[in-house]
């Protein structure tokens, strides 16, 4: 059982008011809130041991290096990677995907195919389009149905010995669909294709095991899972990370440099050029520790309750339509009110202290599929309550009255 009163005390921001009303934060899929335990780690870093890492012989640098590398081990354990050097620190999901897409430019040619799904965030579409432009490879799309589920029959038909890479999100940010990634990975491997899973929306809700999944690349951002912005990770199987060329050149990623020739460092440093987000990496580890203390099973059970409650209550509102009704979904509800622009509803909800996201959620192809400009998205985290959902429902009723 989740002790919600105790949990909410961990998040100082939940006490604030917005427009004179208690904050109801339902924009967790964009960025989650930060518990005091993680804030303390950030303050401790800048108060006590702020220094560059892997470079200094002095005490501060060594302390910072030890904590940064300890956080890498926390991330490794959390995702069950075989080796710590298979965890590459990045600035987030977007950079992780760009790093892999950049690397594959050296491995693809114009007879190759890559497969994306119709449910993707722009971060998992555009870097691959750029890759296809560079290499001449062809981009194929797994279609979705009205529920927001992927068409696995078509997926099987798209796969062939031309397929070199499949990239799909674990959970859709716009609809909340949980994709059948185990089956997607197995089928791709059967034709010899590698698989990248975008875990940005999954990691706040589940604990992925990259070895059990046998996935080639898994990427995520810390700020979706109680950590800070500007840091994330790329998990890559050792054999793939060794095959890919470096992404950026600079300090730390080299073995030897001369004007005639440069040789590169081994993993993970080959992909970590320049001074990284040291504090962010350490805080990412603290965020993972925090979430594991709450427990992912506890989190999932509680959020499923919120999803069920929220779905039932919202559907009681006349003219409200939910987009994304997959059997397997997480605590994200995307919806519209008949004849009313989502932006107007979002603006009025903000006046009532309720934070939701409105628009296309960086997933325009999904909006095009439903022939809508966007949706209102309420995304729940384990620190939200049913009372807050009641406030949202009341807020929507008021907004609807004002806008009709």
Active-site residue set: 362
Angle at CA of residue 199, ends 134 and 85, nearest 5°: 80
Give the tokens for residue 74: 């926390």
Residue 124 touches ligand C6P, criterion: CB under 6 A: yes
Distance in Å, CB of 254 to ligand C6P, minimum: 26
Is there a cis peptide before residue 268, judged by omega within 30 degrees of 0?
Answer: yes
- Pairing state of beta strands 113-117 and 163-169? parallel
Cα 116 from Cα 124, distance rounded (Å): 8
Q: Which of 7, 24, 29, 142 contacts ligand C6P by CB under 6 A?
A: 29
Q: Please, which of residues 309-338 interact with ligand C6P by CB under 6 A?
A: none
Comparing CB distances to ligand C6P, the nearer of 86 and 198 is: 198
Q: How far is the CB of 92 from ligand C6P (least distance, A)?
A: 3
| Secondary structure (H, E, C), 361-379 | CCCHHHHHHHCCCCEEEEE
Give the pairing of strands 354-355 and 320-323: unpaired
Radius of gyration of the chain (CA): 22
Q: By CB under 6 A, which span of 64-72, 116-124, 134-142, 279-287 interacts with ligand C6P?
A: 116-124
Out of 93, 331, 358, 375, the only residue in the binding site for ligand C6P (CB under 6 A) is: 93
Asked if 201 interacts with ligand C6P (CB under 6 A), we say yes
Q: CA–CA separation, 150 vs 183, rounded Å? A: 12
Binding of residue 362 to ligand C6P (CB under 6 A):
yes
Q: Both tokens of residue 35?
A: 């518990």
- Check residue 400 for interaction with ligand C6P (CB under 6 A): no
Listed ranges 64-72, 120-128, 337-345, 381-389: which one lies at the site for ligand C6P (CB under 6 A): 120-128
Judged by beta carbon, residue 98 or residue 135, the one nearer ligand C6P is 98
Cβ distance to ligand C6P smaller for residue 116 or 200: 200
Which helix or strand (DSSP H or E) is residue 328 part of?
none
Around Cβ 211, how many Cβ atoms within 10 Å? 12
- 234 forms part of the interface with ligand C6P (CB under 6 A): no
- Cβ neighbours for 265, distance < 8 A, ≥ 6 positions apart: 252, 253, 254, 255
Tokens 């999100």 — which residue?
Answer: 169
Spatial neighbors of 267 by CB under 8 A, at least 6 apart, are 83, 85, 86, 88, 238, 241, 242
Minimal distance in Å, beta carbon 51 to ligand C6P?
26
Strands (DSSP E) along 289-382, which ranges?
Answer: 320-323, 332-337, 354-355, 357-359, 375-379
Does 177 bind ligand C6P (CB under 6 A)? Our answer is: no
Between 108 and 200, CB nearer to ligand C6P: 200
Q: Give me the least distance between CB of 133 and ligand C6P, in Å please.
A: 20
Residue 142-171 contact track with ligand C6P, rule CB under 6 A, x = bound: ---------------------------x--
User: By the 8 A CB rule, do 70 and 285 touch?
Assistant: yes
94 binds ligand C6P (CB under 6 A): yes
Q: Report the Cα–Cα distance between both ends of the chain, in Å, rounded.
A: 41
Interface residue with ligand C6P among 65, 74, 76, 123 (CB under 6 A) is: 123
DSSP state of 166: E
99 near ligand C6P (CB under 6 A): no
Region from 49-57, 159-167, 198-206, 365-373 binding ligand C6P, contact rule CB under 6 A: 198-206
Q: CB 59 → ligand C6P: shortest distance, Å?
A: 33
- The two counts, helices (H) then strands (E), for the chain are 14, 17
Shortest Å, Cβ 94 to ligand C6P: 3
Among 53, 100, 178, 200, interactor with ligand C6P by CB under 6 A = 200
Query: Which one among 26, 33, 76, 92 touches ligand C6P, defined by CB under 6 A?
Result: 92
Task: Return the number of the residue (65 or 375) whose C-beta is nearest ligand C6P.
Answer: 375
179 lies in the site for ligand C6P, by CB under 6 A: no
Q: Which residues, listed in sequence order, are joined to residue 113 by a DSSP beta bridge? A: 138, 163
Q: Which residues bind ligand C6P (CB under 6 A)?
A: 29-30, 92-94, 121, 123-124, 169, 173, 198, 200-201, 221, 357, 361-362
């Amino acid at each position: 059982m989740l002790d919600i009163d105790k949990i909410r005390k961990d998040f100082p921001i939940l006490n604030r008011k917005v427009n004179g009303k208690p904050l109801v934060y339902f924009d967790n899929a964009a960025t989650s809130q930060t518990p005091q335990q993680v804030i303390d780690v950030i303050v401790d870093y800048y108060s006590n041991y702020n220094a560059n890492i892997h470079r200094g012989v002095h005490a501060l640098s060594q302390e910072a290096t030890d904590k940064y590398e300890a956080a890498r081990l926390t991330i490794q354990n959390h995702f069950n990677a075989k080796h710590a050097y298979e965890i590459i620190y990045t600035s987030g999901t977007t950079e992780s995907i760009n790093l892999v897409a950049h690397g594959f430019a050296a491995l693809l040619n114009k007879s190759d195919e890559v497969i994306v799904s119709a449910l993707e965030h722009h971060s998992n579409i555009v870097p691959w389009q750029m890759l296809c432009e560079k290499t001449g490879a062809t981009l194929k799309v797994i279609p979705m149905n009205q529920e927001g589920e992927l068409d696995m029959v078509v997926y099987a038909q798209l796969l062939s010995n031309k397929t070199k890479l499949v990239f799909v999100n674990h959970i859709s940010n716009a609809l909340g669909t949980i994709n059948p990634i185990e089956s997607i990975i197995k089928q791709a491997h059967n034709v010899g294709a590698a698989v990248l899973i975008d875990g940005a929306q999954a990691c706040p809700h589940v604990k992925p095991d990259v070895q059990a999944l046998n996935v080639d690349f898994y990427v995520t951002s810390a700020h979706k899972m109680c950590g800070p912005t500007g840091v994330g990770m790329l998990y890559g199987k050792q054999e793939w990370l060794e095959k890919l060329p470096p992404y950026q050149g600079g300090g730390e990623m080299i073995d030897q440099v001369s004007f005639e020739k440069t040789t590169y460092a081994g993993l993970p440093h080959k992909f970590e050029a320049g001074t990284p987000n040291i504090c962010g990496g350490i805080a990412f580890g603290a965020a993972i520790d925090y979430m594991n203390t709450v427990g992912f099973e506890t989190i999932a059970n509680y959020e499923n309750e919120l999803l069920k409650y929220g779905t039932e209550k919202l559907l009681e509102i006349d003219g409200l339509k939910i987009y994304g009704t997959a059997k397997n979904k997480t605590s994200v509800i995307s919806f519209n009110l008949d004849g009313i622009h989502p932006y107007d509803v979002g603006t009025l909800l903000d006046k009532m202290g309720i934070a939701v996201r409105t628009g296309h959620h960086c997933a325009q192809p999904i909006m095009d599929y439903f022939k809508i400009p966007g949706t209102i998205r309420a995304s729940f985290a384990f620190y939200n309550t049913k009372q807050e959902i009641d406030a949202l429902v009341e807020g929507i009723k008021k907004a609807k009255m004002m806008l009709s």
